[in-house]
Amino acid sequence: MKYLCIAYEEEQKLNDLSKSEWLALRQETLDYVETLRKRGLLIITHALQSATTASTVRIRSGKLSVTDGPFAESKEQLGGFFLIEASDFNEAIEVAAKWPSARIGSIEVRPIEEELRMDRRYGEST
């Protein structure tokens, strides 16, 4: 089953790292990405640019609204994602727990819907 792992980070915590700390975290992440690829678990991963480059788009009553930045009430921002193929939710959690930035942020793990449901968008968990 596929799982989307969404990395949330505080940009300031990453910006506060020394150059050597940043390079170590970066290399650890690249090494883990390679490990996941070799194990056949990683489908794709991408980091995102700063949340300051984002816009949030909404349509309400037929009118477009564009707001600078993400809508977030926490300090953590969406930093990137990785899509994995895991045997079950427990394996997906294990993979996410070893992602290096989980130590300074958080990783949300969510199963992928292979197709849009007929009954309603969010049904009972199966």
Domain containing 81 — which CATH number?
3.30.70.1060
Threshold 0.75, pTM exceeds: yes
Q: Which domain holds residue 75?
A: 2-51+71-111
Could you read off the pLDDT of 27-51 as tens digits, one per residue?
999 999 999 999 999 999 999 988 8
9: in domain: yes
CA 74 to each of CA 8, 55, 70, 121: distance values in angstroms, whole numbers, following the listed order:
10, 17, 11, 26
The total number of structural domains in the chain stands at 1
Cα 111 vs. chain centroid, distance in angstroms? 13
23: in domain: yes
Could you read off the pLDDT of 64-99 as tens digits, one per residue?
988 887 666 667 788 999 999 999 999 999 999 999
